Amino acid sequence: MVAASPVEETAPLGPVPQAAYLNQMLLVETSLAPLALLEALLAIERVAGRVRGQRWGPRTLDCDIVLVAGARIREPGLEVPHPELPNRAFWQRELAALGITAGEAGW
């Protein structure tokens, strides 16, 4: 881990009533390819007790790959930059806290 943004409480997204979320963005360096990193993140979610049920529903943990330095990825199950990046102000604030600008983020 290179850096971490502050933890921020945000309202849930989507149509399912639920409690607020705690969000944080991490900047990491890894030798893993993006799809391998995604698989590792999904394994972390499972260990933390995440069960994928209702879309946009409550969850114990949600790990996303939002950006990969210098990369645009369009593969089944992984799109980078994350397609919701322009719509999530809290992600934009977290990127700014990590010192990543919109131009660097590619959106």
**Enzyme catalytic residues:** 50, 59, 62, 64
The span from the CA of 17 to the CA of 55, in Å, is: 12
Q: What one-character-per-residue DSSP string does 47-59 give?
A: HTT----STT---
What is the CB neighbour count within 10 angstroms for residue 44?
12
Q: Are 4 and 27 in contact (CB under 8 A)?
A: yes
Q: Are 94 and 24 in contact (CB under 8 A)?
A: yes
Residue listed under structure tokens 């945000």:
10
